[in-house]
Structure 1
Amino acid sequence: MAGAGGPAGYRARLDALMAERGAWPEDSPWLRAAFAELPRHRFAPERLWRWNGRSYGPVELAGDPDGWYAELYSDADAAAVTRLTDGRPSSSLSAPSVVADMLDSLRLEPGHRVWDVGTGQGWTAALAAWRAGPGLVVSTEVDDQLAAFARDRLAAAGLDVEVRVADGTSAEVPEGRQVDRLHATYAVETVPWSWVAAVRPGGRIVYPWGRLGYAALTVADDGARAHGWVHGLARFMGDRSGPVQPSAGYSAFTAVRGDAEPEHCRVLDRDPAGLEDWHLRFALRVAVPDAVLFTCQGEDGPVALIHDGDRSWAEVLPRAGAGPVLLQGGPRRIGDELIAAWSQWEALGRPDLYDYGVTVTPDSQWAWHGDPDTGARWPIGAPRRATR
């Protein structure tokens, strides 16, 4: 038995932490009750994985119950890694605060039919079924072992949820019937049109958008498009059938740069510490979505390391007694692209991430600022150039 009050003690502290931070959505009070009845640990494998600063090490329920429960309940904003592939996380239980906010964004009501895309361990499908009702949630999972695990845990919880083995990115709507809500648990840069076609007019789609953030779309009355606002920040594992997302961190940057010398250097008129603003970081994500940005502390202040996962890289370095410098190398000037996007963000009035949205049609997708029809926009899944 875990110490510190046992599982109930860990759960109570997480509940209190969520309440203290205002992380329980006021518009969806059902979520707090659902979290209490379907606690996270009931959907966790007996081995979790914890980052120690260099690599992931196992945390076993049998050998370290306190560590295991702490991994699940000590941080409202942390995902619990449940599987590694080639030393990198390939499955997880999403952060409690993010799960609560995304399900709140779904505007889920009793009687709604739900397609849960990416079952994982089955926790979000369980929460959706608690709200929607028995037999109304169908979940798809590409990994047959994960699907089997989730089926067992859902059945043990007494929930009537169907779990199918399928690639949700390319699968058609379950049973050929449109659903009221679609909730995705893995990140896609472009929304499959099959997801929009699967949801009835007026229905909602909530999904993690690419490397950073999540959005909630409403399907238009004529079914010809879906659009909606960005609802928050989070990092999710990517679509297994899509391109591999470049890693952040120093080692990923050095893998791209290697021992190459800068090909271009210029002095900047802005403080690299500004790149620690998450609203700016999100604006850069919108404008240059394939740029990976990592900040760390250098001798003279914050350092920004940027790369595209291929051959192009940039560094923004502070200098004592002088202006910061931008160094770049590779076939594209990825640093210049980010500085231009930073200037555009300032010209737009330094908007919050919640001032951005996404529109999806059968033929194209774009992000926009302020207004879906008249605001600045950036094409998704195509070369980027902001326009009016």
Structure 2
Amino acid sequence: MTSADDLAGYRAALDRAMAAEQAWPAGAPWVREAFAAVPRDAFAPERLWRWDGRAYLPVDRAVDPEGWAGELFGVVHTAAVTQVRDGLPSSSLSAPAVVADMLDGLRLEPGHRVWDVGTGQGWTAALAARRTGAGRVVSTEVDPGLAAAARGRLAAAGLDVEVVTGNASGGGVPGGGQVDRLHATYAVEAVPWAWVEAVRPGGRIVYPWGRLGHVALTVADDGRSATGWVQGLAQFMADRCGPAQASTGYAAYRAVRGDAEPDTERLLTRDPAPLEGDWDLRFALRVAVPDAVLLTGRDEDGVNAWVHDGDRSWAALTARGDGTAGLYQGGPRRIGDELTRAWDEWEELGRPDRYDYGITVTPDAQWAWQGGPDGPPRPIARPAPPGA
């Protein structure tokens, strides 16, 4: 078992790594203090899960204490998987750097009432409670087992947080009324309007947007809209009660393409290499073609890319080793052409970074924009109504 001294060493190493990465919010020193007061390991189960390149394998604290601690504290930008179902992760302790960034975006103050959406292990609720005070945080978790475990951990930490079992995407704040802040720990493609109604005018909503990015919205003075900027990049578990998100793995691309030969093929006079590591480009493409799932891989000719929409349309960009690529497409839409047009538009705009984008939510529609709320709108599908 990992000793108290060992855990103290891991915590100190995480603190130093966060400082080296400049991941501690300069304007919110309380976040660093809260990390120390309610450490990550106090909210971790005895079994974590590690990806070995083919499957998620258990890492038990009693069997491999160093491996277990390494999963928790090893990388500031990596989540620790805490639950696996049907071979896929279904819950996690979010990456420390992302948690700190999202808490900074909430602009929490003592006395604020907070709705923590997606309790998980209870850690983010605990961090928020350290800032706001006793009885100011209510948290909702759809999984009864996770909810019960989180209640126990929060009580053991001496924190007065109410944990409610239920679907937070389909209703209002447990106990009624409005909150000052809403913090979501699972990804939604579209913000449930109930979340906006749950937050007072001028309040903040911080949530992960779909497969990539997290956003901070401010509710308008009349309560009839919420608008805000992208805060950073992150990948979170999807809403279990919402529409299924298309898988990001290569197997999903193969499932969409099947054995089909391309309907069209042409030469691209551009290198696909930026699709691998230019995250500002990838975010711009995610905004412009929100249902496109993009993955990349390397061979002796360079970076190749594969795209699909989770339905029937697909594209492959195959590097030729000379800075060009073949574009092969199939299905009812030309999703590769959509992607390359969006790439051209991003170039024409001067290659804006991820922080130049934002989202507006109203009762009837929601959209992404670039440059400011009056920028060209990119519609986002509305969430299904409760019970649909």
Shorter-chain TM-score above 0.5: yes
Q: 1: CA distance between counterparts of 2:312 and 2:8?
A: 50
What are the Cα deviations for residues 4-33 of structure 1, in whole angstroms up to 9, with x where unaligned?
961111111111000011000001100111
Letter in 1 for 2:113: R
Note the 1:52-91 alignment, pairs <5 A: 52-91=52-91
Q: 1: CA distance between counterparts of 2:113 and 2:245?
A: 31
Secondary structure, aligned partner of 1:174: coil
Partner of 2:342: 341
Would the aligned equivalents of 2:125 and 2:161 in 1 still touch at CA under 8 Å?
yes
Would the aligned equivalents of 2:164 and 2:174 in 1 still touch at CA under 8 Å?
no
Would the aligned equivalents of 1:3 and 1:66 in 2 still touch at CA under 8 Å?
no
Partner of 1:324: 325
Q: 1: CA distance between counterparts of 2:268 and 2:345?
A: 15
Would the aligned equivalents of 2:269 and 2:323 in 1 still touch at CA under 8 Å?
no
Deviation for aligned residue 1:250: 2.0
Q: 2: CA distance between counterparts of 1:335 and 1:159?
A: 51
Q: 1: CA distance between counterparts of 2:171 and 2:4?
A: 45
Would the aligned equivalents of 1:128 and 1:137 in 2 still touch at CA under 8 Å?
yes
Would the aligned equivalents of 1:317 and 1:325 in 2 still touch at CA under 8 Å?
yes
308-317 or 80-89, which deviates more: 308-317
Q: 1: CA distance between counterparts of 2:99 and 2:305?
A: 30
Letter in 2 for 1:281: R
Would the aligned equivalents of 1:4 and 1:10 in 2 still touch at CA under 8 Å?
no
Q: 2: CA distance between counterparts of 1:77 and 1:60?
A: 22
Letter in 2 for 1:348: L
Secondary structure, aligned partner of 1:359: strand
Partner of 1:259: 259
Q: CA 1:131 to 1:4, structure 2 compared with 1: closer, same or farther past 3 Å?
A: closer
What are the Cα deviations for residues 139-159 of structure 1, in whole angstroms up to 9, with x where unaligned?
001111110000000000000
Q: 2: CA distance between counterparts of 1:85 and 1:182?
A: 27
What are the Cα deviations for residues 191-218 of structure 1, in whole angstroms up to 9, with x where unaligned?
1111111111110000000111000000
Q: 1: CA distance between counterparts of 2:232 and 2:73?
A: 21
Q: 2: CA distance between counterparts of 1:290 and 1:153?
A: 38
Secondary structure, aligned partner of 2:170: coil
Note the 1:66-215 alignment, pairs <5 A: 66-215=66-215
4-13 or 216-225, which deviates more: 4-13
Q: 2: CA distance between counterparts of 1:323 and 1:344?
A: 19
Partner of 1:386: none
- Whether 2:286 is the aligned partner of 1:279: answer no
Q: 1: CA distance between counterparts of 2:319 and 2:143?
A: 46
Would the aligned equivalents of 1:214 and 1:234 in 2 still touch at CA under 8 Å?
yes
Letter in 2 for 1:349: G
Letter in 2 for 1:217: L
Secondary structure, aligned partner of 1:339: helix
Letter in 2 for 1:336: D
Secondary structure, aligned partner of 2:240: coil
Q: 2: CA distance between counterparts of 1:207 and 1:281?
A: 19
Q: 2: CA distance between counterparts of 1:51 and 1:101?
A: 25
What are the Cα deviations for residues 69-93 of structure 1, in whole angstroms up to 9, with x where unaligned?
0100010011111111110000100
Deviation for aligned residue 1:165: 0.7
Partner of 1:233: 233
Deviation for aligned residue 1:322: 7.0
192-201 or 317-326, which deviates more: 317-326
TM-score by length of 1: 0.96
Q: 1: CA distance between counterparts of 2:332 and 2:3?
A: 56
Q: 2: CA distance between counterparts of 1:334 and 1:257?
A: 12
Unaligned runs of 5+ in 1: 383-388
Say how many residue pairs are matched: 381
Deviation for aligned residue 1:174: 2.4
TM-score by length of 2: 0.96
Letter in 2 for 1:54: R
Deviation for aligned residue 1:299: 1.9
Secondary structure, aligned partner of 1:281: helix
- Whether 2:366 is the aligned partner of 1:365: answer yes
Partner of 2:313: 312
What are the Cα deviations for residues 268-289 of structure 1, in whole angstroms up to 9, with x where unaligned?
1211012121001001111111
RMSD after superposition: 1.3
Q: CA 1:181 to 1:83, structure 2 compared with 1: closer, same or farther past 3 Å?
A: same
Would the aligned equivalents of 1:193 and 1:362 in 2 still touch at CA under 8 Å?
yes
Deviation for aligned residue 1:321: 4.2
Secondary structure, aligned partner of 1:176: coil
Q: CA 1:3 to 1:155, structure 2 compared with 1: closer, same or farther past 3 Å?
A: closer
Q: 1: CA distance between counterparts of 2:42 and 2:315?
A: 44
Would the aligned equivalents of 1:190 and 1:381 in 2 still touch at CA under 8 Å?
yes
Partner of 2:385: none
310-319 or 117-126, which deviates more: 310-319
Would the aligned equivalents of 1:302 and 1:318 in 2 still touch at CA under 8 Å?
yes
Secondary structure, aligned partner of 2:273: helix
Unaligned runs of 5+ in 2: 383-388
Would the aligned equivalents of 1:43 and 1:123 in 2 still touch at CA under 8 Å?
yes
Q: 2: CA distance between counterparts of 1:23 and 1:371?
A: 26
